[in-house]
A and B are shown apart, each in its own frame.
Chain A
Amino acid sequence: MRFLPTVEQADFVHALDRMLAAAGTPEAARAWAAGEHAPGRRLWARLADAGLFALAVPEAYDGYGPRPVELALAFVELGRHAVPGPVAETVAAAELLDALPDPGPAKEWLPRVAAGRAVLGLAAPEGGHALDADAADAVLVVSGDRLLLARDHGPVLASLDPVRRLAVPQEGTAAVLATGPAVAAAAARAADRAALVTAAQALGVGLALLARTVDHVRRRHQFGVPVGSFQAVKHRLADTLIALEFARPLLHGAAVTGTGADVAAAKVACGEAAYRAARTALQLHGALGYTAEYDLSLWLTKARALRSAWGTPARCRARVLAQTPG
């Protein structure tokens, strides 16, 4: 057993990190929040060049996937760098299309996803809202035992994370891609994949929040000393690190086993740890943390949104419990 990233995996993650650090992701995220998608699409193209989307697409469709472990590792970096857009949804949509018995839709869409030329939305089963439908080339909607492909959507609503934009796909003008019981099974697989990479993204968000906060409390002085030397501050940050560091192995484990219970456990732990990291980051930044124009805000609100997306803590906990033999 070797439950550690391989050298190749670690190298891939480093390369992604370097690329994203140089790419100005916060500016792309802010533009995205304003409805201007060009910088974000350019970022997606660079992610595609780095091989990100190909990890979600089988070899038969020009990808080298599906590779859940590499996807999970990569999505931590997307979270750390606050990459905008329906990245998790696109990856999950690829899983859905690939799982259909009829290969037609996969043949049409997956090579484009692998190349970074298609942004796909996926309506969450509980909500109805699809993330960033205005930026997507199409949105997949599961409706009963039918899979629809919607190209239009209703009005765009703001999310509590300004970078995430919500809309209801219009089923009226949608094309039917598939029907029958296989749709539900494919949708369930896609939801698991979405939960896994969303958990990874949340972990990355939490790590970014912690790193920025540690940096801040080392530099910010009050009462003549760095606020990071106060024990109340240190202990909150220690707890943040502990929660994140024990969420990480759950994420890796879920990527390796893919079981429903492991995915749900990872989603709970990463989502909760990131959200707690956000609360701590805001508090320890003082009013600066409450300031939208300060970049920290990009991660603060995303932590909250990702906590609910693709499996609320309550639903995931219920799943862990239901799948543990008693």
Chain B
Amino acid sequence: MDLDFTAEERSFRRQARDWLAAHVPAVPLPSLETAEGFAAHRAWERRLAVGRWSVVSWPAAYGGRDATLLQWLVFEEEYHAAGAPGRVGQNGISLLGPTLLEHGTQEQRDRVLPPMARGEVIWAQAWSEPEAGSDLASLRSTATRTEGGWLLRGQKTWSSRAAFADRAFGLFRSHPGAPRPHQGLTYLMFGLDAPGVTVRPLARLDGKPAFAELFLDDVFVPDADVVGSPGDGWRVAMSTAADERGLTLRSPGRFTAAARRLAALWHSCGEDADPSAADRVADALIGARAYQLAAYAGAARAAEGGAPEAGASSLTKVFWSELDIALHETALDLLGPPGEAAGGPWAEGWVFALAGPVYAGTNEIQRDIVAERLLGLPRGRRR
């Protein structure tokens, strides 16, 4: 058991650090949840891609560096330590991208991945519906067979960044007679500017038009944009969900960097520091270190070809989402009344962190998964 990085890993870290030091904008970009910020972040994705840092874990053929999981963790540590911008392309890069690498056709990969890596096409995830949240399999939007493709009908909601994004990927009921709700679903990609799509932005807690609801009225999708086989969408989507909850959505680097900033904030408060916050600052440091070390262990296991345990990403998701809230709450407490002013990194981070236990499958659902898959407890009644 060791924590010694190889010469190759150290050199990878140095390269990332040097590139970021030379390229991270000196002034933070405007919030990516606004039109102006979205454009600025899109330009940042392009710069990342030019430096070949936008999708480090992807194959080189699609703009990546074939990075190992450990190298990706290293990159993320450097990325967040450098205070680099949030990733507007994240839904595509960390959800659809890996799904296409696993389930897509060669034609789809060649067509979809490069522009995704360059930030030219920003993707939104269209899974949730007004009547299908935690119980995603109850979704009602339909895909109906037509000449050369499918026609989408129905409504999707809470689709992050869909107000400004270019395309979306989602699940649709394509085989209405299927015996069980998660059967007969198809995973499709569609344009948000396609005829029949109406995008209505939804302001989030801080008023920014971050997500949107989508109304779909006979939107045509060619067969080429079906991911996996028609009717097999649930299985395809579940491989995406494990990525979403686990490491790739919230890399440890994000929390180690934030915890260090929190500690600096604590030290800078000196005599004035809220004494009751000290333990919580320490707990944030401890939690971030725990997550970092757990990820290193996971990377070591992956390097040996070990698959993560079923349900492991659920355990991870509950941990980081609660850590994120605790960290930001503590920072706001330390700041006192000035912390109320919107726009600062802690205030913005707090608003964002509050959603963590809700999106990517609520923490209640994740706890069920942990209890049933990892502890082997009996399934209870879901409804």
Q: Which A residues contact B (CB, under 8 angstroms)?
A: 1-6, 9, 69, 210, 214, 217-218, 225-226, 228-231, 233-235, 237-239, 241-242, 245-250, 252-253, 255-257, 261-262, 265, 268-269, 313-314, 316-318, 320-321, 324-326
| Of the residues A234, A249, A316, A324, contact of B260 by C-beta under 8 Å | A324
A1 and B375 within 8 A (CB): no
A235 and B371 within 8 A (CB): yes
A263, B303: Cα distance in complex, Å? 27
Residues of B within 8 A of A245 (CB): 294, 315
A4, B2: Cα distance in complex, Å? 7
B290 and A265 within 8 A (CB): yes
| Of the residues B283, B303, B379, contact of A317 by C-beta under 8 Å | B283
Least Cβ–Cβ distance between B10 and chain A, in angstroms: 10
A to B contact number (C-beta, < 8 Å): 157
Residues of A within 8 A of B370 (CB): 238, 241-242
Interface of B is mostly: helix
B152 within 8 A of A: no
A317, B289: Cα distance in complex, Å? 13
A265, B286: Cα distance in complex, Å? 6
Known: A1-B2, A256-B2. A226 touches B378 (CB 8 A): yes
Known: A234-B368, A317-B279, A317-B283. A217 touches B290 (CB 8 A): no
B371 and A234 within 8 A (CB): yes
B286 and A320 within 8 A (CB): yes
The interface bits of chain B over 350-370 (1 if a CB of A lies within 8 angstroms of the residue's CB, else 0) are: 000000000000001011101
Across the interface, name the chain B residue whose C-beta is closest to A256.
B3
Known: A1-B296, A326-B267. A237 touches B282 (CB 8 A): no
A318, B6: Cα distance in complex, Å? 33
A321 and B289 within 8 A (CB): no
B319 and A269 within 8 A (CB): no
Least Cβ–Cβ distance between B71 and chain A, in angstroms: 11
Residues of A within 8 A of B371 (CB): 228, 234-235, 237-238
B315 and A326 within 8 A (CB): no
A265 and B377 within 8 A (CB): no
Q: Which B residues contact A (CB, under 8 angstroms)?
A: 1-6, 9, 70, 260, 263-264, 266-268, 278-279, 281-283, 285-287, 289-291, 293-294, 296-297, 299-301, 303-304, 315, 318-319, 364, 366-368, 370-372, 374-381
Known: A237-B377, A318-B282. A324 touches B3 (CB 8 A): no
Least Cβ–Cβ distance between A270 and chain B, in angstroms: 10
A238 and B367 within 8 A (CB): yes
A326 and B264 within 8 A (CB): yes
Across the interface, name the chain B residue whose C-beta is closest to A2.
B300
Known: A214-B375, A214-B376, A235-B364. A256 touches B286 (CB 8 A): no
Residues of B within 8 A of A248 (CB): 294
Across the interface, name the chain B residue whose C-beta is closest to A257.
B3
A249 and B293 within 8 A (CB): yes
Across the interface, name the chain B residue whose C-beta is closest to A246.
B290
B377 and A256 within 8 A (CB): no
Residues of A within 8 A of B377 (CB): 214, 217-218, 228-229, 233-234, 237
A2 and B266 within 8 A (CB): no
A242 and B2 within 8 A (CB): no
Known: A4-B1, A253-B289, A269-B286. A317 touches B380 (CB 8 A): no
B376 and A1 within 8 A (CB): no
| Of the residues B1, B268, B294, B364, contact of A326 by C-beta under 8 Å | B268
Residues of A within 8 A of B263 (CB): 321, 324-326
B287 and A246 within 8 A (CB): yes
Least Cβ–Cβ distance between A222 and chain B, in angstroms: 13
Known: A238-B318, A256-B3. A3 touches B375 (CB 8 A): no
Known: A241-B374, A318-B278, A326-B268. A268 touches B286 (CB 8 A): yes
A317, B276: Cα distance in complex, Å? 12
Residues of A within 8 A of B376 (CB): 214, 218
A256 and B1 within 8 A (CB): yes
Residues of A within 8 A of B315 (CB): 238, 241-242, 245
Least Cβ–Cβ distance between B217 and chain A, in angstroms: 39
A229, B316: Cα distance in complex, Å? 22
A229 and B380 within 8 A (CB): yes
Known: A237-B375, A241-B374. A3 touches B293 (CB 8 A): yes
